[in-house]
Amino acid sequence: MKRRSFFKLGLSATVLGVLRPVKAAEVILDNSLDSIDLVKPIVLSTWEHGLEANENAWKVLAADGPALDAVEQGVRTTESDMSIRSVGIGGRPDRDGHVTLDACIMDQNSKCGAVGYLEGIKHPISVARTIMENTPHVMLVGQGAKDFALGYGFKHVKSPLKEVKSEWKVWKKENKDKFEKPEINHENHDTIGMIALDSKGNLSGACTTSGWGYKLPGRIGDSPIIGAGLFVDNEIGAATATGLGEAIIRIAGSHTVVELMRQGRTPQQACEEAVQRIIDKHDNMEGLQVGFLALDKKGNVGAYSVFNGFNFAVKSKDRSELIDASFDRNW
């Protein structure tokens, strides 16, 4: 028997300042593992900025290109958007005013690369891919990552942006002695995680963020950590995460989702179980938003979050939509 999950479409989506009409209709995502493999290629990504990112990923996928190229090109779109305060060098700085970026990428051969605490480089995802393809390592952080990137021809760019610096100065004056959890929504502390299945049936994923706005200097979240912010197993599926990285790391979130799929859960069931695991491990869930997005080898999709408000973009031959994920509770 087929299991179906129902998601309501959002009414509209703002991407790069453009208000896009999105069909107000109910869509059905078929999460049956025995469904026929008809949907590939397909690309999914977190949040509204995923709509624009998916379009660039789609250019690669529609030309029968590899999922790895698609996810890199896709998330570079978001990294280039200086209006986004949670991804790329337009992102919010740490408490000391430094914009530090985290990213990772993983391909169908379980090769992976990651970069953490990287300053002044526009495309951390491409640095992550360069590490994957040119070194015996998986992750470089901080000054070592920066030197590596410069050595491979990435250019230094100045950050924070002027307006971001002004916002940070106001924040610093008001919050010098406070340390609060951020409210996680499409404007604040959200990653772009992207997972794709190409026309040859191969999976890859990418994840990139500037992390928790006004974080402690040195903090790295889930996004550059393989198994936390992203995991791909070409036999089974792929998953990515968004939200409070500390909670995602504690359960190795994306790896957990993929392993649950390996044990027979649908992508939807796997995301729900991973969210439940986070809930079970925390006494106080106040403000602790986490969302998972998953895709199996057949193109079946799942998404689930702790609180309402998490959405994701899906692009395949016949659709380009923003979908509200189902969730455990209201804010």
CB of 315 to ligand GLY, least distance (A): 22
Q: Is residue 243 at the binding interface for ligand GLY, with CB under 6 A as the rule? A: yes
Structure tokens at 113: 């690369």
The least distance separating ligand GLY from the CB of residue 202, rounded to whole angstroms, comes to 25
Provide the b/e sequence for 184-193 (b: ≥16 CB within 10 Å).
bbbeebbbbb
Cβ proximity to ligand GLY, 65 vs 227, nearer residue: 227
Q: Looking only at residues 175 through 194 of this chain, which bind ligand GLY when binding is defined by CB under 6 A?
A: 191
Q: Is 222 near ligand GLY (CB under 6 A)? A: yes
CA 308 → CA 46, 186, 325, distances in Å?
Answer: 14, 12, 8
Query: What gap in Å lies between CA 89 and CA 201, rounded to an integer?
Result: 33
Piece of the chain touching ligand GLY by CB under 6 A; list 77-85, 240-248, 257-265, 323-331: 240-248
Examine residue 79 and tell whether it contacts ligand GLY (CB under 6 A): no
Residue closer to ligand GLY, measured from CB, 124 or 211? 211
Binding residue for ligand GLY (CB under 6 A) from 242, 254, 256, 269? Answer: 242
Judged by CB under 6 A, does residue 100 bind ligand GLY?
A: no
Write the DSSP string, 111-134.
-EEEEEEE-SBS-HHHHHHHHHHH
Distance CA 118, CA 90 (A): 13
Query: Catalytic pick from 46, 130, 191, 240?
Result: 191
61 or 207, CB closer to ligand GLY?
Answer: 207
Is 78 a residue of the active site?
A: no
Output the smallest distance, CB 76 to ligand GLY, in A. 18
Single out the segment in contact with ligand GLY by CB under 6 A; choices: 74-82, 124-132, 143-151, 241-249: 241-249
Q: Look at residues 62, 73, 101 and name the one whose alpha carbon lies nearest to residue 85.
A: 101
Question: Rule CB under 6 A: is residue 211 a binding residue for ligand GLY?
Answer: yes
**Sequence-distant (≥ 6) Cβ neighbours of residue 125 within 8 angstroms:** 72, 75, 76, 79, 103, 105, 206, 208
To the nearest whole angstrom, how small is the minimum distance from the Cβ of residue 2 to ligand GLY?
A: 32
In the chain, helix, strand, coil percent, each to 5?
Answer: 30, 30, 40
Give the count of beta carbons closer than 10 Å to the beta carbon of residue 250: 15
CA distance 14 to 311: 13
Q: Is 305 in the site for ligand GLY (CB under 6 A)?
A: no
Q: Which of 54, 73, 223, 266 binds ligand GLY (CB under 6 A)?
A: 223
Which DSSP category does 309 fall into? T
- Shortest Cβ distance from residue 244 to ligand GLY (Å)? 6
Which lies closer to ligand GLY via its Cβ, residue 101 or residue 323?
101
224 binds ligand GLY (CB under 6 A): no
Tokens of 181: 């959890």
Enzyme catalytic residues:
191
